[in-house]
Structure 1
Amino acid sequence: MKVAYFIGIVPPEEYIERIEYFQRKWNTLLSVEPHITIKAQGGLTPDKKWIDKVKKVGENFKPFQVSLDKPKYFGDNILYLSVHSTNLYKLHQYLVREISPSEDSIQQYFELDDFVPHLTLGIKQSIGNTSARLSNEVLTEMEQWAHKELTPYPNFEVNFIRIYELNIEEQRYEKYLDIPLSI
């Protein structure tokens, strides 16, 4: 039984609803609510000792602004909304340094210098051994509709970060704990 965690930033509830509605139209709801990953799984161990370190970072970090922006791709298989915020990069760096994952883990999860904040809209994927996939054509169509249906892209204040935990039975990440930003 594998326990897994990651840390994210949640857009405003009304925008989460818009994104989920958009994803349902394409049958691409993901296994977690719409979010911006700020710290991937590396170093987030089942013993949860790292949570105190995350709380310490939160206590010493001011709320800040984030802007969502136009769709982009990772390769040709992940469509996402781009994200702009200088402080988001700083928060990511503080969390990675405080939690201290291995260098291999930092590389595996594209952290520090390779960190690209994003909000995933759709993933081209195989389902089991079948050929059911989101094709390149579908992702391109999703991108075109995202420009129409998800604008205006919001700016919002981040005043907490959310720890997600994998619900193994549901195979879905769920809210575990919200940690306020509080300087």
Structure 2
Amino acid sequence: MKVEYFIGIVPPEEYLSKIVQFQSKWVKQLGVEPHITLKAQGGLTPDKTWIDKVKRVCENFKRFQVSLGKPRYFGDNILYLSVDSNELHHLHQKIVNEISPSDELIKQYFELDAFVPHLTLGKEHNGVNISSGLSKNQLKEMERTADLELAPYPKFEVSFIRVYELNNKKRRYENFIDISLTN
């Protein structure tokens, strides 16, 4: 059984509900709650020794502002809300450097220089609807509707980060632990 983790930032509850409601028009069951990816799976090992390193980084990192923005694509098959925040990039770099995954993992998960903060709205899976995968047409429809239903895009303070753990039985990432940033 595969144990996987990743780290994200959760939008404020009210906007989180708005995104879930929006996504549920296309996807029956979400694989994870809407979040801004901060640190992908690479280097987040099952022994959890990295958690103390992440806590240390967060103890020395001040709360900061994040702005969500217009929908964009990775390629033509992943639709996401753009994210603007210099501090988010700094926090990402500090966590990656502290955990120090291999160069291969950094490259595989698009980290450090390749890091693009984002909040995924939907993904295409070979033109067919597999679990949370959408067809190209559904993705285009989602993009057209996003600006109408999700704007105005909020700016909010990040006071904690969330570690997610894969629940293999449910085939879904669930909240594992929240780690506060310093005041």
Pair in the same fold by TM > 0.5 = yes
Deviates more, 1:136-145 or 1:78-87: 136-145
**Separation of aligned partners in 2, 1:174 and 1:134:** 22
Q: What's the C-alpha RMSD, in Å, of the aligned pairs?
A: 1.3
8 Å Cα contact 1:124/1:135 also seen in 2: yes
Any residues of structure 2 matched to 1:32-181 within 5 Å, and which?
32-126=32-126, 131-132=128-129, 134-181=134-181
Structure 1 residues 65-96: Cα deviation after superposition (integer angstroms, max 9, x where no partner): 00000000000100000000000000000000
Q: How many aligned residue pairs are there?
A: 180
Looking at structure 1, the residues matched to 54 and 170 of structure 2 have their Cα atoms a distance apart, in angstroms, of 26
Please identify runs of 4+ aligned residues in structure 1 that moved more than 6 A: none
- Aligned partner of 1:100: which letter? S
Amino acid aligned to 2:62: K
- Taking structure 1 as reference, are residues 73 and 29 closer, same or farther at Cα in structure 2, changes over 3 Å only? farther
Q: Residue in 2 aligned with 1:10?
A: 10
Residue 28 (structure 1) shift: 5.8
2:21 equivalent to 1:21: yes
TM-score, length-scaled by structure 2: 0.95
Query: Identity across aligned pairs (percent)?
Result: 66
Q: What amino acid maps onto 2:82 in structure 1?
A: S
Instruction: Give the Å deviation of 1:26.
Output: 1.5
Unmatched segments (≥5 aa) in structure 1: none
Contact 1:20 / 1:29 at 8 angstroms: preserved in 2? no
User: How many Å separate the matches in 2 of 1:71 and 1:36?
Assistant: 13
Compared CA separation, residues 124 and 107, structure 1 to 2 (3 A): same
- Secondary structure at 1:95 match in 2: helix
Letter in 2 for 1:103: D
SS in 2 for 1:25: coil
